[in-house]
Every structure is written in structure tokens, then in C-alpha cells.
Amino acid sequence: MNRLKDATSPYLLQHADNPVDWFEWGEEAFAEAVRRNVPLLISVGYSACHWCHVMAHESFEDRATATLMNERFVNVKVDREERPDVDAVYMAATQAMTGQGGWPMTVFATPEGHPFYTGTYFPRQQFQRLLAGVSSAWTEEREAVLEQGSKIVEALNERSALPSGPLPTPDTLTRAVHSLAGSFDAVRGGFGGAPKFPPSMALEFLLRYGAAATGTTRDMEDGERRATADAATSMAGRTLEAMARGGIYDQLGGGFARYSVDAEWVVPHFEKMLYDNALLLRVYTHWWRSTGSALGRRVALETADWLLAEMRTPEGGFASALDADSEGVEGKFYAWTGEEIREVLGEEDGLWAIELFEVTGTFEHGTSVLQLLADPDPGDAERFARVRSALLAARARRVRPGRDDKVVAAWNGLAIAALAETGALFERPDLVAAAREAAVLVDELHLDGDRLLRTSRDGRAGTNAGVLEDYGDLAEGLLALYGVTGEVRWFRRAEALLDTVLARFSDGSGGFYDTADDAERLFQRPRDATDNATPSGQFAAAGALLSYAALTGSARHREAAEAALGTVTVLADKHARFAGWGLAAAQAALSGPIEVAIVGPAGDPATAALHRTALLSPLPGLVLALGEPDSAGAGAGSDVDDGAGAGEVPLLAGRGLVGGEPAAYVCRGFTCRMPVTTPAALRAELASGA
């Protein structure tokens, strides 16, 4: 029976024609398992997952395997990106039972949803034997299976809370830098060995730590801590350069693959995820802002252009992912042989490009992913542009990887923040406009009162409730967009999201659950403060709460943020790689809040110059408000129907022009210095650390 044909998830639609009698996650599946008195087989994956495709072709499209599944189980297919809460609780069980996790995730559970056997990818014959063995155990040893499921749930609930501590101190963050240095690959960049994932959140922390030392005269006056700050900036820069020059980065079209299967960043796992590229876009932009890196600027702009060209949906949002595979082969779209390159470019340019891009036959059949270990000579700039353009045009004629075009609120929040800041810093208004269009889409389609829906597709909202990362990441993005545009609408939407976080997600002890208090009840209420591929919901919420508190002076929001960051203190010494976003937020909390209010007429060059000066500051904890001098008028750049004046953002209240000129007010804890009216004076104020 085809129950997936009306799903909003492209991943579920990929399985709609399987001979497996799939159910979507929900009461119907559980009721059917109770009625038939058989276990649930829960298969969790996502559309861009290579091994999910492999298991689908080997097993779920195989009639013999499907018959076993249908006769002995109720089969449930879950898109982990639509239901991160379901994924989280069963991944915790899988990791606890097997010592590892991954996708596809395969879970056998009682009709109540209690897991009793878990795994990831299984080849067809092994999977068939597993199906028979689990079914036999269910039939012949039912009580033992049920008891095992209950014990697993009990154990998981006992260990679900991560210990917390006080707000991190400067010494805590210094120890975190040393912890990261202990696993840093000084030769190849990154942390640890293969496989290597882009450590986006840790890099953001390292850049902020370095900026806290070099950006002001307030912090890190002693030589040892300044040396640590230099090491932090160096680790970030070495990693960012290595990734940008390796095969994990698309040297023709821009954008980063999910991870590198080797330690040298050469061979990527080819799917491209929105969240990776949004996080990396922001980090590369911040790297340029802190150091002036030309490579950082190039990669940031290429990645932004890739997002607009490849990931934008017709409705103005950003799609979730591009597949790793095309024509059933992983990476086929991206890999080249020397013969293919010479055929496109001719012999002379072809040989030059083969050497430049390290086309040495890395893969089977003599293909290679392109690297750019060194920039071409400046005199070859025109030739380089011509070669890239020709290769990109030739590649465009290949069969493209599939695209998962659902819009995820959290990941669009990350993209909104990155595009808004990149557009403002590199004076690319088209990028700011794209960030705004994505914000409008999420605002109009995903927000239902004060509640947030996680996904939409083709302009149709999904039914799954937003989780904590959706609220935190979207609030972060909207506050960043407000700081760039001055549109009070985005400040107000972020305010509503964060009020819901405090009202619905609090665990009562300073942290947050990943699901709201009225969300669907699973066997465990998920709560994970550690970063994974994206910032943890707790750290995302903490960062946004800090920014909001700085704009409003709200002690309630700042105290909630600081309490949520207590987990960082526990993780910093030995597990800093899994607390990068929390460390970055903690650095902002310790360095700030440094509040900058820019007041001036919209469109006035003097207002724009002050605004840009503030945006160019890398100071952690700096929060920016922008508005018209007339508190009865609309915020700078805002819609008329906002009905909102600058006075709606408390940081702007009572701030006016100085001598008829646009002015910048630099404050700390809402205590402000004398306003300044020139970029040079503003830079001096920021250099003093307020």
C-alpha cells in the first residue's frame, strides 16, 4: 500500500513506490503494530544520504526482502530532517547499544516504540537474516524482548541530562582553546583524523577568541593569553584554507560537500547540505573581517553565489540538500578524468588545468575531484577564469544530483544570518535581499502565532512542530537581519520566538529540552546540549537570547542564556569540539554586551558609513541596532505596515541626531559613552572596548 505518495518529504517520496508497506511516523503505525501484535521496524534517513540510497536499492526495492518486512513487521519510514526529535531519541539508543550511529538508522521497537535492537546500514543478505532473527525472537522470547526494551528506555532516561556548571570564565575558554589544540592537525588543518567534518562552530569560537584579544585594549593584556589568541586565529585560518583548497570544496561551482573521507580534505562525501554551507559562509566572512584574507573573501562570495544559484526555491527559501549521487554513482557529477578536461579545454589549457587542479586519478576509472592547492600566478588570472567557466559549462550538461527542496526553518535561519552579514560586509545588496526573502517566507509560512512549523515544501507548510534549534537558529538569523536592515519586523519576530523558547522549552534547571512541553510524547523527551553537524538547540537559543538581551536590556533573557551556557563549562576541557557554538556564545557573553546604536535617516551616506563601520568590527558580543532618529517613524528600511518606530527597540530609545548629523552610540550594559558622528571616532570607541 502506497502511504507515502502525499508526503511533504522528498526522502519519503523516494520510497513511495517501494514494495515495502511503509507507514509514516504516527498513531496509525503504532495502532497497526498493536493490532497485529508485531514489532515496529523504523528506518530513519534523509534524501541526500548515499548509504540510505544503497540500502534502498539493495533491500527496500527487493520484493523478497519487502515480503519479509511486510509479513513480520509494521514498517515506518522517517525523514530525520523533518523529525529530528524522533531521530534523536533513536540515535541515542543506537549509539548506546552499538557504540556508533549513522544513517540509514535501522531500529526494531515494541509496539509502544521502545527500541530493543538497533543498527545502521545492513547489506541485503545480512538484513534478511536479521529480519528473520528478530521476528523469531519476538515470537519465541517475547517477554525477554519487552523487558530489554523497557530497560533500554529506563537507562536512556537516566543518562539524558548533561551535567551543567556556572557560566564559563575567561580561563574556561582558554582551556577550550588548548583542548582544541591538542587534537589539531597542524599540517592538514582540522581536528583529529579521517573522516574530517567541517568544524564550523569551533572555528567561529576560535575567531571570536582571537578577536577578543586583538580587537580591543580591554581583554587579554598578558602575553600568554595573547599567544593563545594568536594560536586560536592560526588554527582557524589553517583549517579554513585547507578546506577551501581541498576536494571538499567545489572548485568550479562553489559550496562545500558534507565531509572528507580522508584526513587531507581531498575526497569528499559528495552531498551538499544547506546547514554546512550556511555555517561556513558566515565563518569565511568572519575570517575575512578579522584578517582581511583574500581567500576568505573569494570563498565566502562563491559560496553565497552557489546558495542563490543552486539552493534557492521558487518561493524564496533555501532547499535542504543536494544528493551525493547522480546516475546512481556517488560524485559522478563532480569528478573528472584528464581526457575529459583536455576535450573541453584543448591540449594546452587542458594540461595546465590538469596540473593546477591536481587531476591525478584519485578514484576508480581514473577520475579525480578538483583541488586548488595554490592560486595560479596573477598573470594567469584571465586564463584561470576562462578555464573555470568552460569546465563549469561542460559540467552543467551532466546529469545533476537530486535536490531535497524542503525548507527547514532552522537551516534557513542559519542561511539568513550568513547571507545578511555577507551581503552587508561585501556590499552585495542582492545577498541581503535573498536573506530577507527567505525570512519573509518563513515568517508567512512557518510561523503560526507564537509557534513555529519546522518544514515547508512547494509553498505548503508541513505539519511537524518546530524544535528548539528551529526557534534558536531562526531567532539568530532574524536578529542578524535586523542588525543589517534596521527592519523592526525581524526584531519583533525574534522576540516572539524567544518568548516561546522560555515558556515552552525550559527544563526548569537552566537548560532546555529540544521539544516543546506540548509536543508529541516519545519514549524520551530529547535534550542534547552538544553540537553535532549544526549548533545544538540549547546553544543556538543561548546565542540568540544574548543578542536579544543586549538590544533590550532584558535581565531575564540574559540570565536564561547564561544558565544555558553552564554546560560549556563541563565540556570545555575534554569535549570542546562538541561545544563550539556554546563556546562562541560564551565568548560573546564575556566580551559583551557591546551595544551599538546607529541613528540616522535611511539612505543618508553618513548613516551608512557609521553602520558599515560597526558591521566591520569583529568584536564578540557586539550587537547592532539601526533606526531613524524619529521614534514615531518607521525603523530604517522597514515596511510601512510594520507600524514600528525606532522606539520599539529599547537600545534606540532616546537616541537622536547630534548636531543634525547621524550618530553612533557605543554602550555596555545600556550605559553609553558620548555619541560620535564619524567612522574614525566610532572605530576608536570600539577599539577601547566601550
Percentage of the residues of the chain whose pLDDT score is greater than 70? 95
Provide the CATH topology of domain 170-326+403-591.
Glycosyltransferase (1.50.10)
Name the average pLDDT for the chain.
Answer: 92
CA 376 – CA 447 distance, rounded (Å): 48
| Dihedral-angle region of residue 481 (phi above 0 means left; psi in -120 to 50 means alpha; beta otherwise) | alpha
Q: Per-residue DSSP letters for 385-412?
A: HHHHHHHHHHHTTSPPPPEEEEEEHHHH
Residue 88 has pLDDT above 80, yes or no: yes
pLDDT at 362: 76
CATH number, span 594-687: 3.40.30
Q: pTM of whole model > 0.85? A: yes
Strands 460-461 and 594-599: unpaired
Predicted confidence at residue 217, as pLDDT, reads 41
In the structure grid, which three cell numbers stand for residue 648, read together?
520599539
Residue 625, SS3?
A: strand
The one-character DSSP state at 641 is G
Number of Cα atoms under 13 Å in the Cβ half of residue 415 = 36
Identity of residue 412:
N
When mean pLDDT is compared across 126-135, 533-542, 639-648, 663-672, the lowest value belongs to: 639-648
State the maximum Cα–Cα separation within the chain, in Å, rounded to a whole number: 87
Provide the percentage of residues in the chain whose pLDDT is more than 90. Answer: 80
Contact (Cβ atoms closer than 8 angstroms) between residue 436 and residue 484: no
CA gap 257, 267 in Å, rounded: 10
Residue 279's closest CA among 210, 197, 349?
A: 197
**CATH no. of 10-158:** 3.40.30.10
Helix axes 338-345, 347-356, angle to 10 degrees: 140
Please tell me the predicted confidence (pLDDT) of residue 640.
31
Q: In terms of DSSP H, where are the helices of 466-510?
A: 468-485, 488-504
Question: At 549, is the secondary structure helix, strand, or coil?
Answer: helix
Do 10-158 and 170-326+403-591 show the same overall fold? no
Residue with the bigger pLDDT between 387 and 218: it is: 387
Question: Is residue 7 within 8 Å of residue 13, measured between CB atoms?
Answer: yes
User: Between these two residues, 505 and 97, which has the higher pLDDT value?
Assistant: 505
pLDDT for 159 equals: 66
For the chain, first and last CA: distance in Å? 66
* Residue 628 zone, left/alpha/beta (φ > 0; ψ -120 to 50; rest): beta
Q: Can you give the pLDDT at residue 630? A: 65
Domain boundaries in the chain? Answer: 10-158, 170-326+403-591, 334-395, 594-687
* Least confident stretch, 114-128, 154-168, 466-480: 154-168
Q: What amino acid is encoded at 134 in this protein?
A: V
pLDDT tens, 439-463?
999 999 999 877 899 999 999 998 8
